[in-house]
Structure 1
């Protein structure tokens, strides 16, 4: 049976294997034995974590180009592995970097690309990708007909299921071409505090907007995200006011999210913002304006002052955690 290449996402600050990779490995097992492509040194804890979710093989590489040029270097690495191993498919998390890598890889290989799949199943003619359309009203099934299928996965829609194995580790030794090595980072400018998780693949997102009123009040977003083990974000207005980093902006020009739970705090709901979060499974909105457009999308709307509602919500979360 042909292997399935899974690009390991190591975007977290501690370089641990995140939930998104567990979800990719869960889907990969349906169509073939997963090969986890680990873009870094073979850390023992990462190897154990990848084996827990069924990675039969771990292909590792430690080269400075992977950090300096994350998209270009990973495209080179995956291209090398596809041509060497002839896999059944390549699975990549559907975040901003993953979408770029997938598009470039498909163009390099001359392969078909399917984006934002929520499920996969095996078929005699190749893997079938399932996509959610029109806010989940339809499910579309597609198959790549040219080359090795390159698939980006909405990992928030996949429940990771363990299938422990003892993986074998293979070190990959390739030379990156001059086009990858020529670019050098000459400066780095912090955009704010570190993100607790990747926004595009987060299962829970808490976002704040102009209605919070100040930078100090915007701290409620981070506090609620932490209490729910979610990821914080902000509207275009909040970003322009300097309350949250640009990389946490949720709109058509920022990050598009597909969480299971989306909480909007003080966000009126512009067209550009709604277009980026309308595919959330459950939407909860808190705003003092009962005519705010965000309520047209919300499954639960709370008309009230976020400065009073959110602290009460945090207190209730704390009480429930204490009684477990």
Structure 2
């Protein structure tokens, strides 16, 4: 969930604010924090500085301090949808979910077209199992992040797929593609003549095992027109997914025999075999919350009897 860092326009201390913003953007959080605190020493009523310092503190894991500065920011700028969105995200971290929802909805009252707040509210609702409303708000991600441009043929919105061709686009990371590709068999059951999926070449061997995929497109130059296109992560909305109707055919991905035999020779044959992934993409915006700092952090697991671990990064 993105946090809006706000610029200060026309303020007497704008140069100090700018230096803090630049330090924050290059990852020098200590220098940025010092600059914001100097700014607040000069003018403790500066709502923008309180908001930006709160963002920094939140990024550093100092959540209670961050909440206090968001509160101070809203004392000065109560009609700021951006600050309310930021504070709502902070409340989620503190597991104050009802208050977070109130703040997200207040932000949208102030700014109905605020895509980031709509997206964040969607995530909150989905996490609470409120899928009917949550999937609708989650659609705001396309405006919030602009990951895909519209294609020169119609986006699918639940129309009859009988004898039609459908192109599915990936979003975000590999895990999201793997998670949401489970919907392809449901589309095939609706009569789609051909379903194509754009994917990274690294995922192609796995996705070739998914029932219902007729073609994988790993080279954008091979892209051609279909009757419809849609994104994989919009399929739950299109198909009216509730907690009770999540596609649950397990497994829906497989492995080719040659790969199975190759790994069978490398893995232990006794005990319960558990795979561990301990590090993700270091370029991910939230990698600090997803990856372990060192493999040794998992050492306590090795004492569990009857478990054989394999790890990758």
Q: Same fold (TM over 0.5)?
A: no
Higher helix share: 2
TM-score (norm 1): 0.27
**What is the TM-score of this pair, normalised by structure 2?**
0.28
